[in-house]
Amino acid sequence: MRFIPAREVEELAGSHPDEPGRLTPNWLEGPHFADRLDLGLVTVTPGGAAGPHVHLGGQVIIAISGRGFVETDGERVQLAPGDVVSCPPGELHTHGAVADSHFSHLTVTTGGYTFPEPDPGGPAPTP
């Protein structure tokens, strides 16, 4: 067991990188990229987002602070503190901060993740 006090969660959620458009995971458990749980507190600067990706075992996102989004199949859902999203295994999605707000969330996954093959005529995906 690992206990993470609320003050540590608050400190991590409030420590956003200085670079604009940046997503930074702070791993609380893992990453193992296996059958074990990976638990991270992700901080995102305004406008930052993960490139489209798939979690092999699915992903749970729990919004902690700021405002963010999750998008899949062209549907974007806005997130605020306390919102929870469950992405099933294999669902292509992206998530990040809206343009005018920092965003922090917990992420719980198993099995790792993959980025789709880049479109030969388009830009390469970015994490």
Question: For residue range 34-78, what is the model confidence (pLDDT) as tens digits?
Answer: 889 999 999 999 999 999 999 999 999 999 999 999 999 999 999
Residue whose pair of structure tokens reads 């390469």 in the numeric block? 124
* pLDDT at 122 (0 to 100): 47
Residue 44 burial class via C-beta count within 10 angstroms: exposed 0-12, middle 13-18, buried 19 and up: buried
- Residue 59 CA to residue 45 CA, distance in Å, equals 21
Phi, psi of 24 (to 5 degrees): -130, 120
Closest by Cα among 75, 79, 104 to 91: 75
